[in-house]
């Protein structure tokens, strides 16, 4: 996982360097590149100045996080050395309609949760969430805004698993959504998205994310919604 992420990113940037008309490169990174640390202060929201610890990633065998962190750091090094105007977007857990019929791992985890499974989703613990439309619009915004620079956290809200399922169970009472999750030893954190909001960006709500996601599952035949019993 590490080498493909690193070399894949650098290969794209090498191709970008060949284009003399290049204005700016917007790279999709991940919020995981800043929140895997052993010195988190629960009272101080994480912002773009934070980076995940490669040593801790290795210790936890968090290879996805490590690959994303290494790839983004390599991108910044390459672009500084080659005069490329780079901006990076750090989305949290992306929720919304699924375009391809074959679900990605994120969508599969959400579908499992809606069907009453807890094993895969429990691993996420406390997590930031963002609508897929917002992720796309964020890329366009920072590409077109000449004053954009550096890293931008792209996340609407951070929630614990138990709070999330309580909201979803109320909104979708006919789905077998789990009532609670086993507590894991995970640090509490929040995300400071003021850099992106300062550009005038407004995020969709957690309700909109899951409404669109569930509607997509139903349309594609992955999920069946029963009418709620009359009160």
| 3-state helix vs strand vs coil in the chain, percent to 5 | 45, 10, 45
> Active site includes 68?
yes
Distance separating alpha carbons of residues 155 and 204, to the nearest angstrom: 10
Contact 91, 135 (CB under 8 A): yes
String of DSSP letters for 65-106: HHHHHHHHHHHHHHHHHHT--EEEEEE-EEES---SSS--HH
Which of these is catalytic: 17, 43, 58, 68? 68
State phi, psi for 64 to the nearest 5 degrees: -60, -50
Distances, alpha carbon 141 to alpha carbons 46, 93, 105, 206, in Å: 22, 20, 27, 21
Contact 109, 124 (CB under 8 A): yes
**CA-based end-to-end distance of the chain:** 51
Distance separating alpha carbons of residues 5 and 25, to the nearest angstrom: 17
Residues marked active site are found at 68
């Amino acid at each position: 996982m590490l080498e493909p992420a690193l070399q894949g990113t650098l290969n794209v940037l090498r191709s970008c360097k060949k284009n003399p008309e290049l204005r700016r490169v917007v790279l999709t990174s991940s919020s995981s590149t800043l929140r895997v640390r052993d010195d988190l202060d629960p009272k101080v929201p994480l912002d773009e100045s934070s980076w995940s610890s490669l040593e801790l990633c290795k210790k936890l065998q968090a290879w996805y996080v490590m690959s994303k962190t290494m790839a983004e750091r390599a991108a910044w090094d390459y672009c500084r050395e080659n005069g490329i105007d780079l901006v990076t977007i750090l989305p949290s857990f992306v929720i919304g309609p699924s375009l391809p019929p074959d679900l990605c791992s994120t969508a599969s985890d959400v579908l499992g949760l809606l069907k009453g499974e807890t094993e895969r989703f429990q691993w996420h613990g406390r997590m930031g969430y963002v609508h897929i439309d917002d992720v796309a619009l964020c890329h366009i915004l920072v590409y077109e805004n000449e004053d954009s620079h550096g890293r931008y956290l792209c996340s609407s809200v951070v929630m614990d698993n138990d709070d999330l399922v309580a909201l979803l169970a109320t909104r979708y009472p006919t789905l077998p959504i789990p009532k609670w999750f086993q507590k894991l030893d995970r640090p509490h954190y929040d995300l400071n998205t003021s850099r992106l909001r300062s550009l005038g960006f407004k995020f969709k709500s957690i309700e909109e994310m899951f409404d669109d996601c569930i509607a997509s599952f139903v349309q594609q035949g992955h999920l069946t919604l029963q009418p709620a019993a009359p009160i």
